[in-house]
Amino acid sequence: MGEALVESLTQVFQPSTLLLMLVGVAVGFLVGILPGLGGAVTLALMLPFTFGMEPVQAFAFLLGMLAVTSTAGDISSVLFGIPGEATSAATVLDGHPLTKRGEAGRALGAVLSASAIGSAIGAVVLVAAIPIMRPLVLSFGPAEFFALTVLGLTFVVTLSGGNMLKGFIMATFGVLVAMVGIDPQEGVPRYAFGDLYLWGGIGLVPLVVGLFGGAEVLQLMLTKRGIAQPTDDSATRNLTGIGQGIRDTLAHWWLVVRSSAIGVGVGIVPGVGGSVAQFLAYGHAQQTSKHPEEFGKGSIEGVIAAGSNNNAKDSGSLIPTVAFGIPGGAATAVLLSAFLIVGLDPGPQMLTSDLPVTLSMAWVTILANFVAVAVGFLLIRPLAKLTQIRGAFLVPVLLMLLTIGAYTASNNFADVLVMLAAAVIGVLCVRWNWPRVPFLLAVVLGAIAERYLFLSYSLYGLGWLTKPAVLIIGAIIVLTVARPLLWPRLRRSRSADETRAKMGAR
């Protein structure tokens, strides 16, 4: 193993390999900032260029590109409230409110430094998991995957703060939206109303872009001011808050480790996706925070959790892809095609004779992310100044980016209409204080949960409910729901007991 690590590092530091990685980083950085395209689409577009490359060169180019799209997407999420891709959506929740307070530098410093640390943790876990990854993932079946999706929905409902009822209603609405399209069991259209576009379901990219980015742009249009609306010293704080953001990340190092671990763990589960991982990490951060009331209003802990998780989950999704050819997500599905193009077979070959090539992925992931973070830090100052520009000048550009991002998802103008409708919903949610996150994640998880529920019942009947892993996850779900309901009462009871004890002592 040690010899393979050294050999893989030597291959990565070849001049041609490093050059290809830098090209991939540049492309990924540009794509990550532009909303809508995403890592999977970019990999698909660049895949033909890998013909004739050596395996390590191909992975340096493709992984260098994939590794930085999430980091760059975090930048646009923080500054403009527009997720670069769906997996950057959770960063918007606290990163953009910080920008509105004039603390864009602090938010970017925190999210970029957390991304760098998260990518390193994810790569280390990838290397450590190679000997044990296959039996771990193979032990899960449809029943366990269904339980995990329900756990994800439970987590996100608890993100609704003090009003879980609103969170539950929005999650239910999201599940209904997820059911639009062809019924996977019966093969008949549901909620399509005779429209051929709706047969394929409602696209996630235009929905995310509109729900978060479109809503922020519409509000910016109404305020007629810049994104940042703080005190007069905002320009100075935008430029000097970078170091504070880095110190915040280091101060919350244990949160970084936990969020990265969640990213890797969820990334290992095939088909669940990066959006789920990020919102799970965000929900965990809120539940364990000493100041949960700040989440959604500019909590630096929320920014750190989302940023560190975002890059760690990419390494996690590589684990099932390398082990036995099951992609962890859409991007790794495209990457699996690259394996075949360069003559590699996932499974025993990549874990034995081609082990140096496999380990090179970890080195590329770390190097590419550190390069992207360094570039991001260099660009923080000019990017932060953009938040001081009047909305009248920014809105046309942002609307153009939103439209491009929504349209390029499937080259269908109907996606632009979905984006606009989602933007209106987003504005209404902000205006009347309804949570958007439960709706979004329910859309992501709805179809997954339906598929796994159908498979579980088809294979085991009701017997799947008695599986040990399902029972354990079910217990976690019950505790997750009960904690926010019972904890305030317990605190009030404890406070009353302490008050009575003090009165008795007097």
Q: What is the pLDDT of residue 489?
A: 59
Q: In whole numbers, what is the pLDDT of the chain averaged over residues? A: 75
The answer on pLDDT for 29 being more than 50 is yes
9 Cβ neighbours under 8 A, 6+ residues apart: 360, 363
Confidence at 392, pLDDT banded by 50, 70, 90: low
Segment 500-504 long-range contacts (CB within 8 Å, at least 24 positions apart): none
Question: Among positive and negative, which fits the CA dihedral 343, 347, 351, 357?
Answer: positive
Please provide the DSSP assignment of 265-326 as one string: HHHHSTTT-HHHHHHHHHHHHHHH-S-GGGTTS--HHHHHHHHHHHHHHHHHHHHHHHHHS-
The answer on pLDDT for 428 being more than 50 is yes
Confidence at 425, pLDDT banded by 50, 70, 90: confident
Instruction: Kindly state the helix (H) or strand (E) to which residue 9 belongs, with its residue range.
Output: helix 2-12
Please provide the DSSP assignment of 58-124 as one string: HHHHHHHHHHHHHHHHHHHHHHHS--SSGGGHHHHHHHHHHHHTT-HHHHHHHHHHHHHHHHHHHHH
Please provide the DSSP assignment of 209-266 as one string: IIIIIIHHHHHHHHH-S-S----TTHHHHHHH-HHHHHHHHHHTHHHHHHHHHHHHHH
Residue 484 to residue 488: CA distance in whole angstroms: 7
The answer on pLDDT for 245 being more than 80 is yes
- 500 assigned to some structural domain: no
As a whole-number percent, the residues of the chain with pLDDT over 70 amount to 71
Highest-confidence segment of 293-297, 333-337, 379-383, 416-420: 416-420
- 354 assigned to some structural domain: yes
- 14 assigned to some structural domain: yes
Residue 381 to residue 404: CA distance in whole angstroms: 26
The answer on pLDDT for 386 being more than 70 is no
- Lowest average pLDDT, out of 284-298, 315-329, 421-435, 466-480, goes to 315-329
Tokens 């940023």 identify what position? Answer: 307
- Lowest average pLDDT, out of 10-24, 124-138, 294-308, 399-413, goes to 124-138
Span 238-252, average pLDDT? 77
Q: What is the pLDDT of residue 294?
A: 80
The answer on pLDDT for 277 being more than 70 is yes
114 against 129, higher pLDDT: 114
- 504 assigned to some structural domain: no
Residue 274 to residue 277: CA distance in whole angstroms: 5
358 against 22, higher pLDDT: 22
Task: Give one word for 2, left, alpha or beta, with left for phi > 0 and alpha for psi -120 to 50.
Answer: alpha
* Amino acid letter, 94: D
The answer on pLDDT for 498 being more than 70 is no
99 against 129, higher pLDDT: 99
The answer on pLDDT for 99 being more than 60 is yes
165 against 342, higher pLDDT: 165
Contact 37, 65 (CB under 8 A): no
How many domains does the chain contain in total? 1
- Lowest average pLDDT, out of 157-161, 353-357, 463-467, goes to 157-161
249 against 354, higher pLDDT: 249
Span 106-112, average pLDDT? 85
- 503 assigned to some structural domain: no
- 499 assigned to some structural domain: no
The rounded Cα 257 to chain-centroid distance in angstroms is: 16
Span 340-363, average pLDDT? 72
Q: Which domain holds residue 104?
A: 2-493
- 498 assigned to some structural domain: no
Residue 68 to residue 112: CA distance in whole angstroms: 11
Residues in a beta bridge with 181 = 190
Confidence at 463, pLDDT banded by 50, 70, 90: confident
- Per-residue pLDDT tens digits for 189-222: 888 877 777 887 887 768 877 776 677 677 667 6
Give the count of alpha carbons within 13 A of 118, CB side only.
39
Classify 88 as helix, strand or coil: helix
Tokens 């991982």 identify what position? Answer: 277
- 456 assigned to some structural domain: yes
The predicted model scores a pTM of: 0.63
Q: What are phi and psi of 247, to 5 degrees?
A: -65, -35
Span 351-362, average pLDDT? 76
